Amino acid sequence: MPPFAISIIGLSSSGKSTLGRRLFRHLAARDGLALELVDGDTVRDFLKGKIDYTPAGRRLSASVQTLVAFSLYKHGVSSIVCNISPFEESRRFARSRIANFIEIYLECPLVVCMERDEQLHKNVYQPARGGQVQGANVVGLDIEFEVPANPDLVLRTHTESEDDSLARLLAFLELRWGEALGAPVLAASAAGLR
């Protein structure tokens, strides 16, 4: 099958990296599929502070990740991109550049993401706990997360388990691409999650 890009978006601590890594492990096991995982945190770490967390910095980050996915796509390599991607404009741009593009939205209430953030000691939402929301540059607090207009799949990670989210995603991909992506492999993987 032709290369693809699967974009997993949502608030911080909605489960993007966890789901992306699990999906990567399942799909990477398929023979002949060249696949890379592009994680927003990894990109930021690589660039060492060259992209800030302001709205402009977040747009730039999304553009860099789209460029990486597009470059991989051009060379026959598929990608799974995990990023907050809070702006619809950035998502439309990615979809316009990569023909075989799928957008997965992890819907999770801010309060749940904040609880997970505290449990994981990530401290992304720390400004809200200290009552300093203005100027925090945190998506969901003082930067709006624009709910996607037309995601290909919505996973409600606050009401379903990680296994259920992955099983639903694998089932969706099987319906979308069928045998081109190795439907028997996906079906077996999904069945093993239940």
DSSP 120-169: HT--TTHHHHTT--TT---BTTTB-----SS-SEEEETTTS-HHHHHHHH
Predicted pLDDT of residue 194: 40
Q: Which residues are part of the catalytic machinery?
A: 85
**Closest by CA position to 113, among listed 10, 183, 5:** 10
pLDDT at 182: 52
Over its length of 194 residues, how does the chain's per-residue pLDDT go in tens digits? 789 999 999 999 999 999 999 999 999 988 789 999 999 888 888 888 899 999 999 999 999 999 999 999 999 999 999 999 999 999 999 999 999 999 999 999 999 999 999 999 998 998 787 777 877 899 999 999 999 999 999 999 999 999 999 999 999 999 998 766 654 444 544 444 44
> Residue 131: what pLDDT?
76
Per-residue pLDDT at 181 = 61
Amino acid at 70: F
Residue 185 confidence (pLDDT): 47
Q: Provide the residue ranges of all domains of the chain, joining segments of one domain with +.
A: 5-110+146-191
- 3-class secondary-structure state, position 177: helix
Q: CA 143 to CA 140: how far, in whole Å?
A: 6
Domain 5-110+146-191 has CATH 3.90.1150.10: no
pLDDT of residue 2: 87
Confidence (pLDDT) at 179: 63
Question: Of 71, 124, 117, 75, which Cα lies nearest the Cα of 94?
Answer: 71
